[in-house]
Amino acid sequence: MGTIPSESFTILGSSTTTTSTVCYFASPDGVRWLYDLGEFTGSNQPSGVAIDPAGSLYGTLSAAGSYAQGLLYKLAGGASPNWFFTSLYSFLGGSNGSSPNGVMVGPEGVLYGAAAGGIQNCGNGSSYCGLIYQARPGPAACASALCSWNETTIYEFTSGTDAAGGTVTAFDSAGNLYGISGGGAYGAGAIFELTPSQGSWTEKILYSFTGGNDGGGPSSLLMGRDGNLYGTAGGGLYQEGVVFQFVPSAGGWTENVLYNFSGGATDGGYPGELIQDSHGNFYGFSECDITGGGCGGWGYWGEGLIFELSSSGGGFNVIYNSIDWCPSQWSSFSALTVDPTGNLYAAAAGYGCNQNGCNYDCTAVGSVPSNTPLIWGQNFVFGNLTSDAKGNLYGTTDTCAFGNPTDGMVWQYSP
């Protein structure tokens, strides 16, 4: 920074390069490194972070912890460059749970998430059906910030007509949890509800997808501002995916398909995450092959699309495509979030292939619509995105830490 007597220069950004990872930060003052995850070795995959009303962050690592079976952690904010890191719970493995895939902050700050483990009768008999866990501070006052939390398995999936390998994604004002899974009555996935009662939880399958016009293989679920459930799935009229709504009634929940994807260049297919803004509008992403009219996948030159479903009757509109960030052989979006003021952010990843194989040749996260990503580079993967009440954006990467580019990190962007 500054000048050299013989030459003057201006800092346009910061970059760090190794033989395997290249990272660029378009706004070095706005993008802040919160924590370097490099102390956790092994095949860890940071899954993004969740935030509580006090601004603390929570996340999981798939193969860290005392037993290398997964770790639930907390980051508390402060004025220092690195936030304070606390290990909350180390998963034990086997039927007790392993490989957690993210966490959700529920009522009263209790954490909920899904992990492998539970009952061992799925697939060939050796696979676990999966479980849903709850984590909270211990009942006694903790004299140290390093105190572990109590973890409890609140439901074990049984496979068959029950769900299998599910995850919780939403809750209502009564404290009931909702999630999506594989399995179900037709083997095409299900929506389930977990209801607390006198210290235990009861599971109920709200809907089993058939894989036909109603959809199949659900990929997202949220509790809408109107109290209805919304999400995305495969299947549908053209077998390219649907956006669905479930409305509660005296006889259960009734499904309405709000949109059928055609698989063409105008709307794509295989929709992923669905989110809702404060005005009730929905945003999501899909995959699309712009050259052949079919949807993206290996062997296609395609791109990811971000769409909007307007609450004011504006219908379905494509508002952005990933090719502006990642002009790769195949690129798609992997995460979305919208902040309290309505700013939309997305993470994208692009695959490039040559004689040496295929890899992530372009990854980026940025605001939509914009042709300038906040963070971009090669050979690293973003986790889920989230924002706080002040509009700050948070996320994780599996490499590309400011301090050491081979480490993963938790980062913050302040507009």
Chain segment 47-74, per-residue pLDDT in tens: 899 999 999 999 999 988 899 999 999 9
**C-beta separation of 217 from 234 below 8 A:** yes
* Residue of 237, 233, 225, 240 whose CA lies nearest to 207: 233
**Stretch among 117-121, 314-318, 373-377, 388-392 having the lowest mean pLDDT:** 373-377
Instruction: Name which residue leads in pLDDT, 188 or 4.
Output: 188
Q: What is the pLDDT of residue 145?
A: 54
Number of domains composing the chain: 1
With a cut of 80, say whether residue 43 has pLDDT above it: no
Q: What is the pLDDT of residue 16?
A: 35
With a cut of 80, say whether residue 403 has pLDDT above it: no
Q: Give this prediction's pTM.
A: 0.87
Q: What is the pLDDT of residue 388?
A: 93
Q: What is the pLDDT of residues 212-243, one digit of tens each?
A: 999 999 999 999 999 999 999 999 999 999 99
Q: Identify the three-state secondary structure at position 412.
A: strand
Give phi and psi for 323, each to the nearest 5.
-65, -25
Q: What is the pLDDT of residue 207?
A: 95
Average pLDDT over residues 274-290: 87
Give the domain range for residue 30: 1-44+261-415
In a domain, residue 129? The reply is: no
37-46, 156-165, 321-330, 380-389: which has the highest mean pLDDT? Answer: 380-389
In a domain, residue 212? The reply is: no
Q: What is the pLDDT of residues 296-307, one digit of tens each?
A: 444 344 678 899
Q: What is the pLDDT of residue 90?
A: 94
**C-beta separation of 323 from 303 below 8 A:** yes
**C-beta separation of 132 from 153 below 8 A:** yes
Q: What is the pLDDT of residues 85-101, one digit of tens each?
A: 999 999 999 999 999 99
Q: What is the pLDDT of residue 232?
A: 98
Print burial letters for 176-210: b (CB count within 10 Å at least 16), e (below 16). bbbbbbbbbeebbbbbbbbeeeeeebebebebbbb
- Alpha-carbon distance of 56 to 84, in angstroms, equals 10
CA count, 13 A, side-chain hemisphere, 382: 30
The enclosing H or E element of 313 equals none
In a domain, residue 164? The reply is: no
Residues of the chain with pLDDT > 90, as a percent, come to 47
With a cut of 90, say whether residue 124 has pLDDT above it: no
Residues of the chain with pLDDT > 70, as a percent, come to 80
* Burial status of residue 161 (CB atoms within 10 A of its CB: 0-12, 13-18, 19 or more): middle
Q: What is the pLDDT of residues 375-386, one digit of tens each?
A: 877 767 888 999
Q: Identify the three-state secondary structure at position 66.
A: coil
Q: What is the pLDDT of residue 14?
A: 35
- Alpha-carbon distance of 133 to 131, in angstroms, equals 6
What are 301's two structure tokens? Answer: 């030159």
**C-beta separation of 232 from 218 below 8 A:** yes
Q: What is the pLDDT of residue 246?
A: 97
**Stretch among 27-41, 82-96, 276-290 having the lowest mean pLDDT:** 27-41
What are 145's two structure tokens? Answer: 């910030």
* Burial status of residue 128 (CB atoms within 10 A of its CB: 0-12, 13-18, 19 or more): buried
Give phi and psi for 207, each to the nearest 5.
-160, 135
The distance from CA 94 to its chain's CA centroid, rounded to whole angstroms, is 24
Q: What is the mean pLDDT of the chain?
A: 82
Q: What is the pLDDT of residue 28?
A: 55
Strands (E), 322-403: 330-338, 344-354, 357-368, 375-378, 386-387, 393-397
Q: What is the pLDDT of residue 8?
A: 43
With a CB cutoff of 8 Å and minimum separation 6, the contacts of 138 are: 147, 148, 149, 150
In a domain, residue 359? The reply is: yes
Looking at this protein, which amino acid is placed at residue 220?
Answer: S
Q: What is the pLDDT of residue 81?
A: 59
Looking up tokens 């660029």 gives 24
Strands 22-25 and 177-183: unpaired
Q: What is the pLDDT of residue 370?
A: 80
Computed from CA positions of residues 26, 59, 386, 164, in that sequence, does the dihedral angle turn out positive or negative? positive
In a domain, residue 326? The reply is: yes
In a domain, residue 68? The reply is: no
Q: How confident is the model at residue 42 (pLDDT cuts 50, 70, 90)?
A: low
In a domain, residue 184? The reply is: no
With a cut of 90, say whether residue 211 has pLDDT above it: yes
Q: What is the pLDDT of residue 185?
A: 92
CA count, 13 A, side-chain hemisphere, 92: 9
- Alpha-carbon distance of 224 to 293, in angstroms, equals 32
In a domain, residue 256? The reply is: no
DSSP 140-190: SPPSSTTPPPEEEEEEE---TTSEEEEEEEEE-TT--EEEEEEESTTSS-E
Give phi and psi for 94, each to the nearest 5.
60, -140
